[in-house]
Amino acid sequence: MSQVSYSAGTRFYSLLGGTILSFYDWYADLPMASPQVFGDQTDVPESGDWYNSSYLMMWGSNVPVTRTPDAHFMTEVRYRGTKVVAVSPDYADNTKFADEWMAIHPGTDGALGLAMGHVILRDFHVAQGTPYFLDYMKKYTDAPYLVALAEHTAPDGTRAYVPGKFLTAEDLPGHAAEENAAFRTVMLDRAGTPQVPNGSLGHRFGESGKGRWNLDLGDLDPALSVLETGAYEPVELLLPRFDVVPEPGDEDTQHLGASAVHRRGVPARRIGDRLVTTVYDLMLAQYGVERADLPGAWPRGEDDEEAVGTPGWAETITGVPAAQITRVAREFARNAADSGGRSMILMGAGTNHYFHSDTIYRTMIALVMMCGCQGRNGGGWAHYVGQEKVRPITGFQQYAFALDWQRPTRHMTTASYWYLATDQWRYDGLPADALLSPLAGDRLRGRTTADALMEANKRGWMPSYPTFDRSSLQITEDAAAAGMEVPAYVVDQLQKGGLRYACEDPDNPENFPRVVTNWRTNLIGSSAKGAEYFHKHLLGATNAVRAAECGPDRRPVDMIWRDEAATGKVDLFMTMDFRMTSTTLHSDLVLPAATWYEKHDISTTDMHPFIHSFNPAIAPPWESRTDYEVFRDLAGAVSGLAKTHLGTRRDLLAAPLSHDTPDALGMPHGATRPLAETPMVPGVTMPKLITVERDYTAIRAKFDTIGPLPEKAGMPIKGVLLHPEQEIAELARMNGVARSGPCAGRPLVDTDVKAAEMILRLSGTSNGHLATQGFHTLEQRTGTRLADLAAENEGRRITFADTAQQPQPVITSPEWSGSETGGRRYSAFVQNVERDKPWHTLTGRMHFFLDHDWMADLGENLPTFKPPLDMHRLFGDARLGSAVPGEAGAGAGLQVGVRYLTPHNKWSIHSEYQDNLYMLSLSRGGPNIWMSPADAAKIGVKDNEWVESFNRNGVVVARAVVSHRMPEGTVFMHHATERTVDVPRSETSGTRGGIHNSLTRVLMKPTHLIGGYAQHAYAFNYVGPTGNQRDEVTVIRRRSQEVQY
**Percentage of the chain lying above the pLDDT 70 cut:** 98
Q: Does the pLDDT at position 890 exceed 60? A: no
Q: Does the pLDDT at position 252 exceed 70? A: no
Mean pLDDT of 693-698: 98
Are both 204 and 291 inside the same structural domain?
yes
Task: Report the CATH number that the domain containing residue 779 is assigned in CATH.
Answer: 1.20.1700.20
Q: Does the pLDDT at position 703 exceed 70? A: yes
Are both 875 and 1013 inside the same structural domain?
yes
Residue 329: how many other CB atoms lie within 10 Å: 25
- The count of C-alpha atoms lying within 13 angstroms of the C-alpha of 54, restricted to the half-sphere facing its C-beta, is 15
> If DSSP codes are grouped into helix, strand and coil, which group holds residue 322?
helix
Task: Report the CATH number that the domain containing residue 908 is assigned in CATH.
Answer: 2.40.40.20
Helices (H), 221-339: 279-286, 311-318, 322-339
- For 908-955, write each residue's pLDDT tens digit: 888 888 888 888 888 888 899 999 999 999 999 999 999 999 999 999
Task: Report the CATH number that the domain containing residue 61 is assigned in CATH.
Answer: 3.40.228.10
Nearest to 902 by CA among 492, 408, 484, 526: 526
Q: Does residue 444 belong to any structural domain of this protein? A: no
Distance (Å, whole) CA 827 – CA 343: 13
Mean pLDDT of 181-187: 98
Nearest to 308 by CA among 284, 333, 337: 284
Provide the pLDDT confidence category of residue 439 given band limits of 50, 70 and 90. very high
Provide the pLDDT confidence category of residue 407 given band limits of 50, 70 and 90. very high
User: Across all residues in the chain, what is the average pLDDT?
Assistant: 96
Distance (Å, whole) CA 20 – CA 6: 11
Are both 159 and 91 inside the same structural domain?
no
DSSP one-letter string for 47-108:
GGGGGG-SEEEEES--HHHHSGGGHHHHHHHGGGT-EEEEEESS--GGGGG-SEEEEPPTT-
Residue 298: how many other CB atoms lie within 10 Å: 19
Are both 988 and 947 inside the same structural domain?
yes
| Domains held by the chain: number | 4
Are both 64 and 167 inside the same structural domain?
no
Residue 649 phi, psi (nearest 5): -135, 160
Using alpha carbons only, how large is the chain's radius of gyration in Å?
28
Residue 881: predicted pLDDT: 85
Q: Does residue 426 belong to any structural domain of this protein? A: no
Q: Does the pLDDT at position 888 exceed 60? A: no
Q: Does residue 425 belong to any structural domain of this protein? A: no
Are both 97 and 201 inside the same structural domain?
no
Mean pLDDT of 252-268: 83
Provide the pLDDT confidence category of residue 156 given band limits of 50, 70 and 90. confident
- The count of C-alpha atoms lying within 13 angstroms of the C-alpha of 479, restricted to the half-sphere facing its C-beta, is 24
- For 769-799, write each residue's pLDDT tens digit: 999 999 999 999 999 999 999 999 999 999 9
- For 344-395, write each residue's pLDDT tens digit: 999 999 999 999 999 999 999 999 999 999 999 999 999 998 767 999 999 9
Q: Does the pLDDT at position 636 exceed 90? A: yes
Are both 909 and 966 inside the same structural domain?
yes
Residue 50 lies in domain: 33-113+324-383
Provide the pLDDT confidence category of residue 253 given band limits of 50, 70 and 90. low
Q: Are 52 and 377 contacting, i.e. CB atoms less than 8 angstroms apart?
A: yes
Which distant-in-sequence residues (6+ apart) come within 8 Å of 946 by Cβ?
957, 958, 959, 960, 984, 1038, 1039, 1040, 1041, 1043
Which of the residue ranges 35-39, 78-82, 888-892, 921-925 would you say has the lowest mean pLDDT? 888-892
CA angle 908, 572, 635 (to 5 degrees): 90
Are both 270 and 341 inside the same structural domain?
no
Q: Does residue 647 belong to any structural domain of this protein? A: yes
Are both 80 and 197 inside the same structural domain?
no
Residue 916: predicted pLDDT: 86
Provide the pLDDT confidence category of residue 518 given band limits of 50, 70 and 90. very high
Q: Does residue 370 belong to any structural domain of this protein? A: yes
Whether this prediction's pTM lies above 0.75 is answered by: yes
Q: Are 319 and 101 contacting, i.e. CB atoms less than 8 angstroms apart?
A: no
Residue 171 phi, psi (nearest 5): -90, -5
Q: Does the pLDDT at position 251 exceed 70? A: no
Nearest to 875 by CA among 503, 504, 424, 526: 424
Nearest to 383 by CA among 29, 78, 89: 29
Q: Is 108 exposed, middle or buried (0-12, 13-18, 19+ CB in 10 A)?
A: buried
Are both 154 and 262 inside the same structural domain?
yes
Query: E strands within 589-717?
Result: 589-592, 601-603, 610-614, 648-655, 688-695, 715-717
Residue 249: predicted pLDDT: 60
Q: Does residue 1044 belong to any structural domain of this protein? A: no
Q: Does residue 673 belong to any structural domain of this protein? A: no
DSSP one-letter string for 6-48:
HHHHHHHHHHHT-EEEP-TTTTT-S-THHHHHHSSS-----GG
Q: Does residue 1000 belong to any structural domain of this protein? A: yes
Which of the residue ranges 244-248, 286-290, 453-457 would you say has the lowest mean pLDDT? 244-248
Which distant-in-sequence residues (6+ apart) come within 8 Å of 126 by Cβ?
284, 289, 291
Are both 1007 and 882 inside the same structural domain?
yes
Which of the residue ranges 84-98, 591-605, 677-691, 918-932 would you say has the lowest mean pLDDT? 918-932
Are both 996 and 1033 inside the same structural domain?
yes
Nearest to 112 by CA among 104, 120, 122, 100: 104
Q: Does the pLDDT at position 157 exceed 90? A: no
Which distant-in-sequence residues (6+ apart) come within 8 Å of 991 by Cβ?
542, 543, 544, 955, 985
